[in-house]
Amino acid sequence: MNPMVNNWTYGETSAKLGGRFDLPVYTQGCELLRNFRPMLQGGITRRSPLVHIAETEESRLIDFSLGGTQSFLIQLAPYKVYIWQYDTAGVHRLSFLVNGQSQDHLVSPYGPSDIWEVQYAQYYDRLYLVHRSYPQQVLYYSSGAFSLEQFTLQVDMNESLGRQVDSYPSVVAVCANRLWYAATNARPFTVWASRPYQDGASHSDFTTYDVVLTETEVLKDPSLWPTKTDDDGQEVFDLSDPQQLITTSEETNEIITASCAMKLELASGRNDRIVWIRSMRNILIGTEASEWMVPFDIDPTKQAASMLSSYGSEPLQAVSMHNGVFYLQRGRRLRENLFEGDASDSVDLSFTCDHLLGQGVRQMVAKRSGDPMIACVLTDGTLAVLTYDRRYAMQGWARWDTQGQVLSLSTLECPEGQHLYAVVKRAGSTYLERFDFDEPLLFCDRAHAVDDGDLPYASVMVGNRFDIASDSGTTIGRSKKVREVWVRCLDSGRVATGVESKSIQRSLKAVGSEDHRINIAGGAKKEIRLRIESVESDPLTLLAMTFDMEVN
């Protein structure tokens, strides 16, 4: 028997699928995929190495891009904001002139735990920031300089949004040219949408009506009419000039137009806190218990909101990729909300690998260029990475780790696509690093860095148990023996393989792009799990493998 594996588009899969070897998700997945990345073409390749940028402090990264050649990393540290600018040499940290003194950061109100609860939304040259315990902020970029300011709102007379404790928004988005705030402590289920940003107006205007002064011509009181003396010497009204009989009455009216701001309450029948807002064809709103849709062309004269589903979300800002919105469901499942025609659906993308997000997710990042992926920073400092493209049936999970803890991730726009940066804590120090997706030869974190030096990492694939069903029955429980394994690689170094970790055999030289045979030692087993490992810092891209197996 010579089974072949040439497709890992489902990546690491759940042990709960261990009996479904009749499904593609089983045959095209594996039991463990560590520090590998599934490719759209079906094979797997080593995850990109991390390169050293600079020493820094524990913080959170946010992408702020004005275009492919003008991109910045916003780094939220406790009570500070560092800003890194992209250029052809990489990124460099900006300095600021404050009160005549040069410093490397802007002052912010957010403490160590606050930075992970901040939500943000970019609108051209500004980044809106919110946190439920602090007044809303805005980071401006103008004339080559940054400034961080409290964002003062213009609201109705009886409205407290953004003006006092318990009235600071915790959710922000920019949709349909309006700034959307939501979920204050006092009104967790309420959404406010500003007036459109147009004709020199600002997103700061949240007034929900216009005041119109109406002037109406009315007759004066007869006692005020002009008089004259007639031919008989009698005093009579002088009606020769009708305008003398008329006065103007002024009346103030409040009217609502399509350009006014809006205030919406989701009628879920419960105290349902809003946790994210995102636009994708329509405006999606996620709450702790449900998901809602607001029409993209909504305005105060035609307000509407409808519930789409009732999965409920974790308090984590959703991300967009392709034509879907990705959010973390309560219970730690990743879902994608899709609009197909007039219908909407939220697809569970983690059912094939439902164990990987169990540690809890701190941050989600969408990387669109190259092989598209959703990277989740887990609370234990590892990454759960989903390579995903619906058009090519790609839904491959993998786990990435390094010698240390990944605290935060962010993409950064650049002329060739997107870079992926990370804040990594190693042995008591914290660093800004970048995944080098262009490195072809040396797969070692922080190669040639002054501090710590080269940090090797292992890339490991453990296949699902091999079993088949035939007319003579299944192979479950039957003895199996693998004598040799053939691997087809691409531009690879040495490779190690075996049926368990203690019987791993290494190739003696780089396999390149040729088919390579490795003899396997050991006796017969009832469960066969093929294991492929990288060797030291050698590159490894696996396209296919086949093995000579006897079944008794």
Tell me the pTM: 0.90
Residue 20, Cβ density class (10 Å: 0-12 exposed, 13-18 middle, ≥19 buried): middle
Q: Domain ranges in the chain?
A: 4-40+466-551, 118-206+259-314, 210-255
Is residue 332 within 8 A of residue 314, CB to CB? The reply is yes
Residue-level pLDDT at 68: 63
Task: Provide the residue count of the chain.
Answer: 552
Burial of 473 (0-12, 13-18, 19+ CB in 10 A): exposed
Q: Average pLDDT of 264-290?
A: 90
Picking from 152-156, 372-376, 494-498, which range would have the lowest pLDDT averaged per residue?
494-498
Does residue 247 have a pLDDT over 90? Answer: no
Residue 305, judged by CB atoms within 10 A of its CB (0-12, 13-18, 19+), counts as middle
The tens digit of pLDDT for each residue in 354-413 reads 999 999 999 999 999 889 999 999 999 999 999 999 999 999 999 999 999 999 999 999
Instruction: Give CA 72 to chain center in angstroms.
Output: 17
pLDDT at 21: 84
Cα–Cα distance, 462 to 533 (Å, whole number): 9
pLDDT at residue 341 tops 80: no
Interval 205-236: pLDDT, tens: 999 999 888 888 888 888 888 898 888 888 98
Predicted pLDDT at 357: 96
**pLDDT tens by residue, 410-463:** 999 988 889 999 999 998 899 999 999 999 999 999 877 776 678 999 999 999
| Cβ-contact 11, 460 below 8 angstroms | no
Mean pLDDT over 131-154 rounds to 95
Which 8-state DSSP code applies to residue 181?
Answer: E
3-class DSSP state for residue 348?
strand
- Residue 39 and residue 540: Cα distance in Å, rounded? 13
Residue 161, C-beta contacts closer than 8 angstroms, at least 6 positions apart: 153, 155, 167, 169, 181, 184, 192, 206
Q: What is the rounded distance in angstroms from the CA atom of residue 260 to the CA atom of residue 185?
A: 24
324 is written with which tokens?
């879907």
Instruction: For 3-144, list the strands marked E by DSSP.
Output: 4-5, 11-12, 29-34, 36-38, 44-46, 50-56, 60-67, 70-77, 80-87, 90-93, 96-98, 101-103, 106-107, 119-123, 126-131, 134-142
Which one-letter amino acid corresponds to residue 239?
L
Average pLDDT over residues 232-244: 87
Tokens, residue 221: 């009181």
Reduce the secondary structure of 234-295 to three states and give it as a string.
CEEECCCCHHHHEEEEEEEEEECCCCCCEEEECCCCCCCCEEEEEEECEEEEEECCCEEEEC
Chain mean position to CA 214 = 49
- Is 201's pLDDT higher than 70? no
- Let me know how many helices (H) and strands (E) the chain has, helices first: 1, 49
pLDDT band at 281 (very low <50, low <70, confident <90, very high): confident
Cβ contacts of 96 within 8 Å, gap of 6 or more = 102, 103, 104, 105, 106, 145, 146
Alpha-carbon separation of residue 201 from 17, 31, 155, 205, 254 (angstroms): 56, 56, 14, 8, 20
Question: How far is Cα of residue 507 from the mean position of the Cα atoms in its chain?
Answer: 41
Q: Token digits for 367?
A: 């990387």
Which pLDDT score, from 0 to 100, does residue 4 have?
A: 83
Torsion-angle region of 176 (φ positive above 0: left; ψ -120 to 50: alpha; else: beta): left
Question: What's the pLDDT tens digit per position in 9-33?
Answer: 999 999 999 888 889 999 999 999 9
Q: Residue 248 has what pLDDT?
A: 85
Percent of the chain with pLDDT over 90: 66
- Taking only the tens place, the pLDDT of each residue in 57-95 is 999 999 999 976 789 999 999 999 999 999 888 899 999
pLDDT bin (cut points 50, 70, 90) of residue 200 is low
Predicted pLDDT of residue 213: 83
| Residue 275: closest CA among 285, 264, 263 | 285
Q: How sure is the predictor about 196, in pLDDT bands with cuts at 50, 70 and 90? A: very high
Nearest C-alpha neighbor of 538 from the set 504, 498, 490, 503: 490
The domain made up of 118-206+259-314 is a member of CATH 2.130.10.10: yes
